[in-house]
Each structure stands twice: as C-alpha cells, then as structure tokens.
Amino acid sequence: MHTPEWVKGSESVPWEEVLRRNPRERMKAEKHPVDILDELPELIRRGYENVPEEDIVRLQWYGLYHDKPRVGYFMMRIKLPGGILTPAQCAAIGELARRFGDYAELTTRQDIQLHWIRLEDLPEVFAILHAAGLTTNAACGDTVRNITGCPVAGLDRFEAFDSTEDLLRLAAFFYDAAHRDYFNLPRKHKITISACAYHCNYPEIHDIAFVGVREGAREGYTVWIGGGLSTNPRIARPLGVFIPRQQVLTVARAILDIWREEPANRLTFVKARLKFFVDRIGPEEYRRRLEERLGHVLEDWPQPPQPVRREFHTGIHPQKQPDRFYVGFPVPAGKVNGDQLLGVARIAQEFGLRVRISQRQNLILADIPRESLVAVIVTMREIGFPLQGSWMRATSIACTSDPYCNFSLNSSKELLVDLIDYLESRLGPIQDITISADGCPHACAHHWVGDIGLQASYLRKPDGSVEEALMVILGGGYGREAKIGRVVAKRVPVAEVKTYLENLIRFYRQSGPWRSFHEFTNAYSDEALLQIMRNGCLEEQKAATSVPVEVEP
Amino acid sequence: MTRLDELEAFELAMEYEDQPAEAVVSWALDLFHPRVALAWSGQAEDMVILDMAWRINPDVRAFAVDTGRMHEETYALMEEVRQKYGIAIEVVFPDRHEIEAMVRNFGVNLMYRDVAYRILCCELRKVRPLVRALSGLDAWFTGLRREQWASRQNIKKIEIDHDHGQIVKVNPLADWSSEEVWRYIRTHEVPYNRLYDQSYSSIGCKPCTRPVQPGEDPRSGRWWWEINAPKECGMHCSIETGGFEKIMEAILKEAAVRGEGAAR
C-alpha cells in the first residue's frame, strides 16, 4: 500500500513499517471507517454473527461499541458539544431510551449513552437522531471525541467570557465526516474549551485544552496539551501561548496535524495518544512546530491560569442574566430512564429552560425565572431528581461498567451509590469529598484524580469463585490541586473498603483543619494512610492510647 | 514476592513497547523467575516464547492445562519440548469431582448443546485449573497478539492482570504478525504443533476446534456450531485475555447450569 499524501512526518518511519506493526492502521487503510455507513444495509442483511470484527470496530466511528457479552447489542454514544441539548433533543433521546431497555447514561464527557440497540435498529435510530439535530459521528474510534466545555458557559456570572461560539465552531468542523483526515487520527482525541472560572471541564486531563483568559478587553485562550488518564495518566502541559478566540479552529487543526501526519505516532496503537508524543518531543518543541506551521510566532502567556476554587455547578446559582437561575440536579452515577428524560424535556419546554449535561454526570436546567424556581425544583423531584443530598452524592462519578462494558470487572455505578449510602449513614452528609469509581484501568471516571479513586479488581478464590475487590487511589486532584494519585491499597474486598473509607474520612475530619481532603491525603505517606484506613488511627497513636492488657488472675 | 504497582507496570509497558520481544521476556525473567511461567497451550506463539525464554534462562517454567480433551498432537509436542529443551511443562488438571458431576449431569459432549453449557465446560476444564496455576505466580507469559482480533488492539506488552489477582501479564508478541511467528519458528527450528499442518488455525480442545480452509473465516475454526454465541476471535483462546471470564460471568449469570454442573 502506497504512502498516503498526508504523511509528512520528520521522524522518518516508513509507512510500510506502520502498516506492518499496527493492525489498527491496516484496518483504517484497507477501508476508511467513515465509509462503513454505506455498507450498513449489507451488514444488517448478513447479520451480526457474520459481520467481520473489523467492520464492528469501524462502527465505533459512529458511536457504537459491543455491549457485553457481545451477542448483538450495542452501546450508542450521542455527542452533545458542551453538554448542550434542546428540550426537543432531550425528548428524542428520552423516547429512544424508553424503547431500548428504558435506560441511558449521562457521561463524564457530556455525552448520553444508550444500550440494547441492534444492528437492524440503526437506520431508524440514526434517522431519529439526525431529525433532532443530534449526532454520533466520531463519538468513538480514532477521532475527535465530544468537545466538552463548561455546561453553564454563557450563564455563569464568574466566567471570563462566553466560549460557546468557539466550542460550537470546533464541533461543527470535527464532527463533519467530510473532514476525513480528522476521522483518521492515530488514536482517540479529547478537546475541551471553556472560560469557566472553576475549570469545571478539567483542562488538565485533556489532549488539547483551550483555557479561556482575558487581558483587558482581549478575549482568548491559553493552550495546554498532552493530558489524559487511562493506564498512563498525564497532567496536560502548558504551551505557554495566548491565542485570540478567532484562531481556535486553526490552532486546533494545526496541533492535530503535527501529531497525525507523523507516522511515528502510528507505529503502535497503545502509544499513539498525543500525551506520548508530547512526552517525546516536549511542549517547547511542540510550540516551535506549531508556530512554524501557522507561519507566525504566538504571543506568550507564561503563567498558566488557575481556577478560583473547585466548583462543579451543582445546586442553585444566579445567572449573569438578571433574575435568571441555573440549577444543577444530582443524577446519581448518571443513570436515567426514558421517562425521566421525557420529564426533563417537558419541564424545560413548559418553563422555557435550557438543558445541559455536566461532566459530573448531572443535569443542569438554566434560565429559570426566580418565580418558577420552586415549581421547577418540585417537579424535578417528582421525576426522581431531588436537589437535596450532599456534595459527595452530587459530584461523585462512575464509569459505564457492568452489565454493559466489556472491560469492566464490576458495576461501579451500583458500587458508588451503595458506598455513599453507607458512608453517609455512618458519617452524615459529606460536603467536600468526591469519589471516582471505575470498573477497569481506563479511568473513564478519573480514578487517578478524584479525591478518592476506586478501580475494580478481583480476588479469586481457590474454588474459582470471585470476590469483588478494589484498588484505592489517593492524593490525586483537579484544578489547583491537579495531580495524579497514588495506589495506596491494591486489593481490598468491597466490604472492607467501606470501613477503610469510613475510617479515613473520620480521621480527616478529626485531624483537621485541612484546606482540602487533597491536602490531607498528601500530608501522609501511603503507609500512614493504610494504617488510618485499617485501624482508624496511626500506629503511634494506637500505642499511645492503648490500655495495658490485664492478665487474668 | 515481587509485585508491580499499576502505574509502574503501565509505564514499563510503554518503555518496552518499542523494544523487541526478547527484551520483554528477559525483563520478566530477571524480575520474576521462578515466579513467572508461560501459559502453554501448544500454539505457535507459545513455542516462540518458550524458545526465546529458554535461550535467556534454560530453567524457564511453563505450565499447561490438560483439559482431558486435547489432541494427540499437542501431547506429542509437549513431549518434544521435554526432549529438545529439557523443560518439563507443568501440567495441571481440572478437579475430578467437578468434571464427574458435570459429565454425569449433562453428558460428555455438553458443549454442543448450548453456549452456556460450552462455557461451563470451558470454566471447569480450563479456567479453574488456570486460575489455580496462576495463583502461585507473580507473573505469566501469554502469546496474545493484537492482530488476532480487531477488538484486541489495546493489548500492552506488560499489564496488570485484574482478572487473576493483579499479577503481571506479559505479552511479548503483542505486536508480532503471524508471519513473524512462523519466520521465527523456521529460523530457529522450533518444534511446532502438527495440527497446523492439517490447516488448524487455533489449538484448543478436540471437540471444539477444526481445520480452517484457506479463505475461510478463522473464527469458524472454533465453536462453529454455536448460535447467539459471544463474538470471539476464534484464534488464540480469549481465556488469556480475561475477556473470556467477563463473558463467562455474564452468560452463566443468566443460565441455571452453573450450580448443577459444578455440584460436588
């Protein structure tokens, strides 16, 4: 196969070597995945059993994955740029959710996922989505995934400016399957853009983050690249530049071009993410290449901006628009059913509200007039979204997991809800700690950076039976505290994890005052944290307070 | 006992991603031997790793699960390994009580009845003995390769195996093609399973594998009679990926066969 004309890399890796070593690149070179849609009628005619796995993988480019255990049902990921959806779109998704298993998930990247969809359902489902102005293009596969942003962009009083227009410009370009080159990236690619004062969109864990800054009247972004989690977590590295708002798409394309045109980045699928390229050449060299490609020098922005504090837009907030409010409603683990989505759409229509999905898997209703606040909150409670509840309950997240995901070892969503119930029954409402529950190492729920990160594992007994266990990751953080956590406990049965975390949080509360849970977990060694989790105190304290054992007479 | 942290293991995986299979094998033997072993099922890949490892450390360990339904050719190869390399593959067997109960309840060829029965058979004959063998190890080698199955492209050369008690799973041939496997076998005159000469593309239990003619879907070499079965690679058995165990849990949860099949 000849070298494609877009290959312009400088690291002189021959294209044949890429194809020889990386079956993913062979798959894409043999048939561009965007073209699989043309073959859909033929795939349906042949039937799931007889569709080659390569074609099933190509369907990822339209947001589809095998559900577990790969017997013909698919997960479908619907992209919502910036988490924005209209009431009519919310209703359309609600109808689909009701029809397919009466279930949907709000995701940590502002998508909504459906399950229980079969190959033969796809033409109709795609038609419904397109009619509603929704897309699954590039929702999975080696593409630009959903472009995330602050869910209350344009509404929040403290944002630097409203970045919605720039976000939508990026989405319009990168979701368009006519831009085939950007549907053939070395690996998936995650972009976020916002001017949120709280960095609620986690720029530090994205491949490219446009972080809104303002200098006097000038609005623009500073750019971070090469963040990401999964098995090899990296905090994004600042390029140290300022770009005016109008240049966002040009710069995003140029950053992607530098990466995608370099065949060295395609030698192996497991090392293809932008973060590894940034590891290799460094942010300074990346900036140099970017300026070379743009044909001009970029303005310096030496100091990376910091969020003012941690805020995930839960609860009631006045908007910048007078007498309007937005309310972030907790959706435990992001689980919703069809009727709930239809209910949200109905409320939004009735009161003339906007609907947004947050990265904490929550629903946000906005533009609520002061006089309707109570009515909206009461109606939301009636459909199953009470506003009451702790901050932990509102902000903790869990990945897709069992019974759907092929990678997962547990149901992290059930685990999360159950764990919070337990902790709060013992400790009362928890207002300053967020939990990230993941079913596998891929970290969809950010176990590396949540206050308490949990990753599922198994304990296997000699008779072959399995006990669910967890890895506990502590010390990670978002925003001002951006940091990859440490694996503090490796294989702890779930029941014990509950006690471990109860002990840990109790100790945190009693040993304070701490500025944050992050500060607390970073003040102690792994060994000390383990002692606290196991015994409720440190060994030295135990020794100091222990009563001498009385010997029986 | 040597255990790697999740972060350490995957950073090492990235470091070794650009290095040849021998370097990966050598790293694992240095760090883990004698608490590392090759999961040997008589596939071409297993023989490549065995040969490679033997050249680095002739005391390398290998184990095989004898399901009781294997091909004569596989036993012959096991014997050849003993002759040529002086390696006694450690054979582990299923629990006789479990197999006796299963056969009594469902018959000796239960795998042809239905997917759930076949998976039960896989679990009792293969997975449980495998788990037992792995429980004494800190690391294991598998012959998994990315090109075997389009959904398997994210296999890393070094992984933490959460399906098997967080030991380290080493996949030195992750980025090898089938041609490279056979070139190695020819170049180093490595003995191989004669079933390949009879057009088998996958080595497994006798009732569940068959030859695949050129041009035929390689998946038809395993469990070809099944309807509504989980879509699987059909080449290197997915038991090594852990994917099998996840599917197994899902299917046996629905089916009532488990308790009865394993009843003692």
pLDDT in tens, B73-102: 999 999 999 999 999 999 999 999 999 999
Torsion, Cα A124 A77 A377 A314, to 10 degrees, reads -170
On whether the CB atoms of residues B119 and A71 are closer than 8 A, the answer is: no
Return the percentage of chain A with pLDDT > 90, whole number: 90
Phi, psi dihedral angles at B218 (to 5 degrees): -55, -25
Domain A157-312 in the same topology as domain A31-140+317-388: no
CB contact under 8 A, A490 and B217: no
pLDDT at A550: 44
Q: What pLDDT does A144 receive? A: 98
Nearest to B40 by CA among B92, B86, B83: B92
Residue B235: CB atoms within 10 Å: 24
**Measured between alpha carbons, how far is residue B112 from residues A417, B13, B102 in Å?**
41, 40, 14
pLDDT at residue A10 in the model: 75
**Per-domain residue ranges of chain A:** 31-140+317-388, 157-312, 395-543
Indicate the residue of A54, A69, A491 with minimum beta-carbon distance to B247: A69
The residue to which tokens 């060299």 are assigned? A285
8 Å CB contact between A515 and A437: no
pLDDT at A427: 98
- pLDDT over 70 (residue A442): yes
Residue B160 confidence (pLDDT) above 60: yes
A270 and B CB contact within 8 Å: yes
Interface test with chain B among A460, A466, A491, by most B beta carbons within 10 Å: A460
Would the CB atoms of B163 and A69 count as touching at under 8 Å?
no
How far apart (Å, rounded) are the C-alpha atoms in residues A334 and A347?
Answer: 19
Spell out the residues 6+ positions from residue A264 whose beta carbon is closer than 8 angstroms to its own.
A9, A11, A13
pLDDT score of B264 more than 50: no
A299-311 mean pLDDT: 96
B171 to chain A: which residues are within 8 Å by CB? none
Provide the pLDDT for residue B262: 63
At how many degrees (to 10) do helices A373-382 and A338-351 cross? Answer: 170
Q: Which residues does chain B have within 8 Å of residue A455's beta carbon, measured at their own beta carbons? A: 6
Rounded to whole angstroms, the Cα distance separating A149 from A196 reads 8
| The two structure tokens encoding residue A220 | 């623009």
Q: A517-526 contacts: CB < 8 A, separation 24 or more?
A: A517/A432, A517/A433, A517/A451, A517/A452, A518/A451, A518/A475, A518/A476, A518/A477, A518/A481, A518/A483, A519/A481, A521/A451, A521/A474, A521/A475, A521/A485, A522/A475, A522/A483, A526/A486, A526/A488
What integer pLDDT is reported at residue B240 of this predicted model? 67
**Per-residue pLDDT at B237 exceeds 70:** no
* Interface-testing mutation among A269, A401, A405, with chain B (most B C-beta atoms within 10 A): A269
DSSP A4: P
Give 3-state DSSP helix, strand, coil % of chain B, rounded to 5: 50, 10, 40
* DSSP-assigned beta bridge partners for residue A315: A328
Distance from CA of B75 to the nearest CA of A (A): 26
A 207-246 residues with CB below 8 A of B?
Answer: 231-233
| Mean of the per-residue pLDDT values of chain A | 95
Cβ atoms within 10 Å, residue A475: 24
Cα R_g (chain B), whole angstroms: 18
Q: Is the pLDDT of residue A136 over 90?
A: yes
pLDDT band at A545 (very low <50, low <70, confident <90, very high): low
Q: What is the pLDDT of residue B247?
A: 74
Amino acid at A527: E
A406 CB within 8 Å of a chain B CB: yes
Mean pLDDT of the B161-181 span: 93
* Cβ pair A411, A444 in contact under 8 A: no
Identify the CATH homologous superfamily for domain B6-255: HUPs (3.40.50.620)
pLDDT of residue B149: 85
What pLDDT is stored for residue A552 in this prediction?
A: 42
Does the CB of A69 have a partner CB in chain B at under 8 Å? yes
- Which residues of chain B lie closer than 8 angstroms to A463, CB-CB? 128
Mean pLDDT of A142-167: 98
- Cβ-based contacts of B150 with chain A (< 8 Å): 23, 27, 52-54, 56-57
The pLDDT-based confidence of B263 (bands split at 50, 70, 90) is low
A 458-497 residues with CB < 8 A to B: 458-460, 462-464, 466, 471, 484, 486-487, 490-491
Q: In whole angstroms, what is the distance from residue B209 CA to residue B67 CA?
A: 14
Task: Pick A276's closest partner by Cβ from B14, B177, B217.
Answer: B14
DSSP characters for A245-268? GGGHHHHHHHHHHHHHT-GGGGS-
Q: Which of residues 273-292 of A touch B (CB under 8 A)?
A: 276
Query: What is the residue whose two structure tokens read 């009563």?
Result: A547
In angstroms, the CA A431 to CA A388 distance is: 12
Q: What would the two tokens of residue B236 be?
A: 């290197």
B49 confidence band (pLDDT: 50, 70, 90) = very high
| Higher per-residue confidence, A465 vs B21 | B21
Contact yes or no for B204/B41 (Cβ under 8 A): yes
The two counts, helices (H) then strands (E), for chain B are: 10, 6
pLDDT in tens, A460-502: 776 667 789 999 999 999 999 999 999 999 989 999 999 999 9
pLDDT of residue B243 exceeding 70, the answer is: no
| Residues of chain A positioned with their CB less than 8 A from the CB of B146 | 22-24, 269
Describe the strand order of the beta sheet including B90-92 as a list of residue ranges.
B90-92, B61-65, B36-39, B139-141, B167-170, B158-161
Instruction: Cite the beta strand spans of A124-252 per DSSP E.
Output: 191-194, 208-215, 218-225, 237-244
Please tell me the distance in Å from A178's CA to the nearest CA on chain B.
25
- pLDDT of residue B30 exceeding 90, the answer is yes
When pLDDT is cut at 50, 70 and 90, the band that residue B236 belongs to is low
Residue A537 structure tokens: 């105190």
Option in B150, B154, B233 nearest A27 (CB)? B150
Distance (Å, whole) CA A282 – CA A288: 10
Query: Residues of A with CB below 8 A from B165's CB?
Result: 458-460, 491
Q: Which of A29-33, B200-204, B224-228 has the lowest mean pLDDT?
A: B224-228
Secondary structure of residue A113 in the 3-state scheme? strand
Give the pLDDT mean for A107-118.
Answer: 98
As beta bridge partners, residue B92 has B65
Superfamily of segment(s) A31-140+317-388: Sulfite Reductase Hemoprotein;Domain 2 (3.90.480.10)
Give the pLDDT confidence score for residue B165 in this predicted structure.
84
pLDDT digits (tens, 9 = 90+) for A204-241: 999 999 999 998 889 999 999 999 999 999 999 999 99
A549 pLDDT higher than 50? no
| Residue A11 in this model has a pLDDT that exceeds 60 | yes
Outline where A331-409 has alpha helix (H).
338-351, 373-382, 391-395
Span A157-312: which CATH code?
A: 3.30.413.10
The CATH superfamily holding the domain A395-543 is Sulfite Reductase Hemoprotein, domain 1 (3.30.413.10)
pLDDT at res. A551: 42
**Has residue A548 got a pLDDT over 70?**
no
Give me the mean pLDDT over the B131-149 stretch. Answer: 92
At A284, is the secondary structure helix, strand, or coil? helix
Q: Write the burial class of residue B88 (CB in 10 Å: 0-12 exposed, 13-18 middle, 19+ buried).
A: exposed
- Show contacts of A413-420: CB within 8 Å, 24+ apart: A413/A333, A413/A334, A413/A335, A413/A437, A414/A333, A415/A454, A415/A456, A415/A468, A415/A470, A415/A494, A416/A332, A416/A333, A417/A332, A417/A333, A419/A497, A419/A498, A419/A501, A420/A332, A420/A390, A420/A392, A420/A393, A420/A396
| Catalytic positions of B | 233
Kindly tell me the burial class for residue A367, based on how many C-beta atoms sit within 10 Å of its own C-beta (0-12, 13-18, 19 or more).
middle
* Nearest Cβ partner for B251 among A69, A441, A463: A69
ipTM beyond cut 0.85: yes
- Residue A553's pLDDT is 39
Q: Give me the mean pLDDT over the A12-41 stretch.
A: 95
